[in-house]
């Protein structure tokens, strides 16, 4: 569920940046970082689906499963690092004055 919350937060941040447009400070780096984060989250989700669907009792698949689990762990770490930079640059919703 935490993954879903992060995915929704990144989508919301991307929407906010796109609403602000290129005139916003750090527009290009933030859009790039959010896009990378979203891509990595989808990749982790796909890897987790494959890991769960494979038979753990098949000894021949243990090496491949271990590799996939290590890859998934590394990607999750990268997602955390990318999101730290997104937070550091800051995404602010535009002020709407009516």
pLDDT of residue 47: 92
* Selection from 75, 24, 2 nearest residue 13 by Cα: 24
Single pTM value for the model: 0.82
Q: Tell me: the pLDDT tens digits for 26-47? A: 899 999 999 999 999 999 999 9
pLDDT of residue 34: 94
Decide if pLDDT at 94 tops 70. no
Identify the DSSP state of 95: P
Domain ranges of the chain: 2-89
> Is the separation of the CB atoms in 50 and 68 below 8 Å?
yes
Q: Tell me: the pLDDT tens digits for 48-77? A: 998 888 877 888 888 999 999 999 999 999
Q: In Å, how far from its chain's centre is CA 54?
A: 24
Tokens describing residue 50: 């494959």
- How far apart CA 71 and CA 83 sit, in angstroms, is 18
> Is the separation of the CB atoms in 22 and 95 below 8 Å?
no
């Amino acid at each position: 569920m935490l993954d879903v919350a992060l995915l929704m937060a990144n989508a919301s941040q991307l929407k906010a940046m796109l609403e602000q447009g290129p005139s916003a400070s750090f527009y290009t780096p933030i859009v790039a970082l959010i896009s990378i984060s979203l891509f990595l989250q989808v990749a982790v989700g796909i890897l987790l689906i494959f890991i769960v669907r494979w038979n753990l009792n098949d000894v021949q698949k243990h090496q491949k499963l271990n590799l996939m689990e290590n890859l998934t762990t590394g990607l999750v770490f990268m997602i955390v690092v990318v999101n730290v930079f997104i937070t550091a640059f800051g995404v602010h919703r535009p002020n709407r004055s009516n």
